[in-house]
């Protein structure tokens, strides 16, 4: 009986933890709105650049999706949860975002979202840098827009347009993702 209780406790604890990537533990679910259902961890992975570990990222959705098309089409709130593993200047961070956007958006779509991408860049510039250990959440809040939070505290105003949030997701899930194995990990493939 004790063995069964210990096994059930271990399974419950593992489910609450969600995933561990590069020493970073991501919870199995996240609350984006103060009320309403929690989002589930769809997948998590490690962003590398050359030999450097840059960040751990988790994708939280209303329910699991196994393809990029499903994840992008899901209605409701979403969260991109980035946990920095090294210091990166705000300029480097936003340059990487713009590079990912341009790789996955048509020129006309890029023109449409560029002013909002500039707003995101301006928010990041207020931080000066994304520091090792910093948590950056990019949340889609239906009816409101994209909210940026750093270490759990929202910064700046929300950025309107679901097309903009889908473009952000495209950095990691688009046809030309920033890192192919990271796309697979965010879609639930084992690391």
* The pLDDT of residue 73 is above 80: yes
Quote the pLDDT of residue 15.
43
pLDDT digits (tens, 9 = 90+) for 167-180: 999 999 999 999 99
Reported as a pLDDT band with limits 50, 70 and 90, residue 17 is low
DSSP string covering 111-154, please? HHHHHHHHHHHHHHHHHSEE-TT-EEEEEEETTTEEEEEETTEE
Per-residue confidence (pLDDT) for residue 191, from 0 to 100: 59
Q: Using one digit for the tens of pLDDT, what is the confidence trace for 21-38?
A: 999 999 999 988 766 789
Question: What is the mean pLDDT of the segment spanning 5-18?
Answer: 43
Mean pLDDT to the nearest integer, 6-24: 59
Handedness of CA 170, 152, 90, 53 (dihedral sign): negative
Q: How many CA atoms lie within 13 A of 132 on its CB side?
A: 5
Rounded to the nearest integer, the mean pLDDT of the chain is 89
- Per-residue pLDDT at 189: 79
Q: What confidence tens digit (pLDDT) does each residue in 82-139 have?
A: 999 999 999 999 999 999 999 999 999 999 999 999 999 999 999 899 999 999 999 9
- Give the C-alpha separation, 186 to 19, whole Å: 11
Residue 5 has pLDDT above 60, yes or no: no
Greatest C-alpha distance within the chain: 63
Q: What is the pLDDT of residue 35?
A: 62
**Cβ atoms 43, 185 nearer than 8 A:** yes
| Residue 57, token pair as written in the block | 């990222």
Segments making up each domain of the chain, as ranges: 2-186
Q: Does domain 2-186 have CATH number 3.50.70.10?
A: yes
pLDDT class of 6 with cuts at 50, 70, 90: very low
pLDDT value for 190: 72
């Amino acid at each position: 009986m004790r063995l069964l209780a210990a096994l059930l406790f271990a399974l419950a604890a593992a489910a609450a933890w969600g995933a561990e990537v590069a020493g970073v533990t991501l919870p199995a679910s996240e609350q984006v709105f103060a009320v309403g259902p929690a989002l589930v961890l769809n997948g998590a992975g490690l962003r590398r650049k050359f030999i450097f570990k840059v960040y751990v990222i988790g994708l939280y959705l209303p329910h699991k999706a196994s393809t990029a098309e499903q994840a992008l089409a899901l209605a409701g709130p979403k969260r991109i949860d980035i946990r920095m593993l090294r210091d990166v200047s705000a300029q480097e961070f936003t340059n990487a975002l713009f590079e990912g956007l341009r790789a996955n958006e048509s020129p006309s779509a890029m023109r449409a979202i560029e002013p909002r991408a500039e707003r995101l860049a301006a928010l990041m510039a207020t931080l000066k840098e994304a520091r090792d250990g910093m948590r950056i959440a990019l949340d889609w809040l239906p009816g409101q827009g994209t909210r940026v939070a750093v270490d759990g505290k929202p910064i700046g105003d929300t950025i309107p347009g679901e097309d903009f949030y889908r473009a952000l997701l495209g950095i990691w899930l688009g046809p030309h993702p920033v890192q192919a194995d990271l796309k697979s990990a965010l879609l639930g493939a084992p690391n």
